Structure 1
C-alpha cells in the first residue's frame, strides 16, 4: 500500500497563519473579557496563548513536531546522498564528496523535537524561581532566569551552525534567518520585557497580557516561516519524499 501526501508550502503556511490569527483574536477577546468585563471563567484558559496545556500550546507543539519530522527526513536523504558519494569516491579517486552537513540536519531535528516537548510540558519554566532571582540580585529583565542559559545556548547554536547556514541556498538562508529572528525575539527578548513588567507591576495587567500575546504570536510565526522554508528547500532539492508505513502486531 502506498500513501500520497501533497503539500503546498504557501497554502500550508497560509492555513497555519489563519490558525495563529484565530488564537490571537481569541486571546485578545479573553483579555478584554478579563480586564474590561471581569469575566474570568475557567474555559477561557483553553484559548489563552499565555497559558499552558491548552489549544494554542498543542497547536505550537504540533507545528514544532512537524518541523522535526521534516528535518529528520532531510537528514536521512542527505545521509543517503553522502554514502552514495563516498561509494563513488572509493571507486573513482577524482570523485569529490560534496555534502558533509547531514549531521546538522539530524541535530536540528532533535532540537525541534525537544522544543515541541518543552512547548507542552514547559520544562524551561522550572528555572523561573523568583526567590533565587531576588537572592542573586538579578535585574528585573532577568527574573525569568531560564533566559540566561537560553541566551547562552542560542549563542552556541549560532556559532556551531554559521558555516552550515552559509552553505544553504540564498532563499533558504533568508527563510531560516527570518524564522530565527522571529522565534528568538519572541522567546527571549519579549520574555525579558515581560519579566521587567512583572517585577515593576505584576502579571495581572493588560500591558503584560498584550506583551505575552505578541511573544507567543512571534514564536508561532517563526515556526511557520521555518516550516515554509523547509518545504521550499525540499521542493527544490527533490520533489518527492518516500514514506514507508509498516503495520505490526
Structure 2
C-alpha cells in the first residue's frame, strides 16, 4: 500500500507557530500571576515552559520527533539513490530521536548539581553542569557536519544553520544567562522565570525553523512523496 502525502511547509509552520505563541503567552501569564500576584495553583505546572512532563514539553517532544521522522524519510530516499551523505542523514535522524527522548524525560537535568558546581568553583555560566558536555557535543557536531552542510543547496543551508543558531542560543546561551540569575537570586523569582521562558521559546522556534527547512528541502528534492507502509500481522 502506498500513501501520497502533500505538505505545505508554510502551512505547517503557521500552525506550529500558533502553538508556540500560545504556550509562551500562557506560560508568561502564569509566571506573572505566580510572582507578582502570588497566585499559585497545581494546574499551572501543566502549562509552565520551565517544567517537564506537561503540555509544552510534550509539544516540543513532538516537534523533535517529527524532525527525526523527516530525517529518516530523507535518509531512506538517499540510500536508494546511493547518495554519499546517506549516513549523515541517518545519524541526524538518530540524534533527533535521542533529543526527543531527552526532551520527554529530561535526562540532561541529572547533571544540574549546584553543590558540585560550588565545590568545583565553576564560573556562574557553568552553574548548570550539563552545558559543559552540551558545548562539547556542539563542537563535535559542527566539526562532524561542516562538510555535509556545505554540500546543501544555499536556501536549505541557510534554513538549517539559522535553526541551529536559534536553538543552540536558547539551549546553551540562555541556560547560562539563567544560571547567572539563579546564582544571584535563586530560581524562585520573576526574572529567572522569564529568562527560562525565553530559553524554551528559542528552542521551540529553532525547531520550527528546522522543520520548515526539512519540508522545504523535501519539496525541492521530491515534488511528491511516496510512503510505503508495510503492516505485519504477527
- Calculate the TM-score normalised by the size of structure 1: 0.91
Among 222, 226, 238, the residue aligned to 2:206: 222
The answer to whether the aligner puts 1:244 opposite 2:219 as a matched pair is no
- Cα deviation digits, residues 188-236 of structure 1 (max 9, x gap): 0000010111011111111111101100000000000001000110110
The answer as to 2:134 corresponding to 1:150 is: yes
Unaligned runs of 5+ in 1: 83-98
Aligned partner of 2:97 in structure 1 is 113
* Relative contact order higher in (CA < 8 Å, ≥ 6 apart): 2
CA distance in 2, matches of 1:14, 1:156: 33
Paired residues for 1:58-137 under 5 Å = 58-82=58-82, 99-137=83-121
Q: Which residue of 1 aligns with 2:47?
A: 47
| CA distance in 2: counterparts of 1:22 and 1:48, whole angstroms | 12
Q: Which structure would you say has the larger Rg?
A: 1
Shift of 1:2: 4.1
Count, aligned residues = 233
Q: What is the rounded CA distance, in whole Å, between the counterparts of 1:30 and 1:208 in structure 2?
A: 14
Counterpart secondary structure, 1:137: coil
Report the 3-state secondary structure (helix = DSSP H, G, I; strand = E; otherwise coil) of the residue aligned with 1:192.
Answer: helix
1 CA distance for matches of 2:196 and 2:206? 15
